[in-house]
A = this chain, B = another copy of it.
Amino acid sequence: MGRIKTDTNNSRKEVIVAKAAALFKEKGYKAASMRELADVVGVEAASLYNHIKSKSELLHEICFSVANRYGQFMESVEQEQISSLAKIEKILRFHIHGMIEHFNEVYVSDREWKYLEDPYLSNFQNQRRTYRKRFAAIIEEGIQKKEIKPIDATTAVLIMLHAISGIESWHRSKQRISGNLLEENMITILVGGLKNE
């Protein structure tokens, strides 16, 4: 037990949030306790409360930091002057990186958001819905410009996001290919499947 370890890039609160994401992924939000979190952070439970108010604040931090990051990224992609297919490729690569490099946070925000409390719960659900609609709109635009095959855009979003969430099982597999190779293969298959030729 002692002080919370930090490095120059992360505040104590960020360290706690990162450890909470790992714990929630491992045990599920419901089953995880603040006592267990204190154990993995290496401090007394009481010290945690100097930095965060409650377990639900931690879930809130994790879910909204992911949702905000995605929202900002979508915004920047929408403004780029590139083809629809290039926009989609950027979005997919962003999601793939998220699943590889921020796996705990992305996993928790994807699976455990249902334990958020209102008004945060409905706010989060709205953000998710809006994000998917904006993604579908880019696909629609590509279909109109005949860059993309005539498909149902909502289905395409569903297929792509679920395919990427399959990276979960890549994390668990013993003989796995490199993250770069995984990314290139996913882009080849998913973007290749949309392209109008």
Instruction: Give the interface segment out of A36-44, A50-58, A180-188.
Output: A180-188
Given known A-B contacts A159-B166, A197-B197, A188 and B149 have beta carbons under 8 A apart: yes
Contact A162 B158 (CB under 8 A): no
Residues in A138-197 with C-beta less than 8 Å from chain B? 149, 151-152, 154-156, 158-167, 169-170, 173, 177, 181-182, 185-186, 188-195, 197
Given known A-B contacts A152-B181, A152-B185, A159 and B190 have beta carbons under 8 A apart: yes
Contact partner of A188 (CB less than 8 A), chosen from B154, B181, B182, B193, is B193
| A193 to B197 Cα, complex, angstroms | 11
Copies in the complex: 2
| A173 to B158 Cα, complex, angstroms | 11
Contact partner of A192 (CB less than 8 A), chosen from B164, B167, B177, B193, is B193
| A125 to B194 Cα, complex, angstroms | 33
Which residue on B lies nearest to A177, using beta carbons?
B152
Contact B155 A177 (CB under 8 A): yes
What residues on B are CB-neighbors of A191 within 8 Å?
193
Which of A159, A169, A170 has the most chain B CB within a 10 Å cutoff?
Answer: A159
| A149 to B50 Cα, complex, angstroms | 55
Contact partner of A193 (CB less than 8 A), chosen from B155, B170, B177, B193, is B193
Which residue on B lies nearest to A175, using beta carbons?
B154
Shortest Cβ distance from residue A131 to the other chain B in the assembled complex, whole angstroms: 14
| A170 to B101 Cα, complex, angstroms | 28
Shortest Cβ distance from residue A31 to the other chain B in the assembled complex, whole angstroms: 12
Contact A186 B159 (CB under 8 A): yes
Besides the known contacts A152-B182, A191-B193, 19 further A-B residue pairs in the complex with CB atoms under 8 A apart? A149-B189, A151-B189, A152-B177, A152-B181, A155-B170, A155-B182, A155-B185, A158-B167, A159-B163, A161-B166, A162-B164, A162-B166, A163-B166, A188-B193, A189-B193, A192-B192, A192-B194, A193-B193, A197-B197
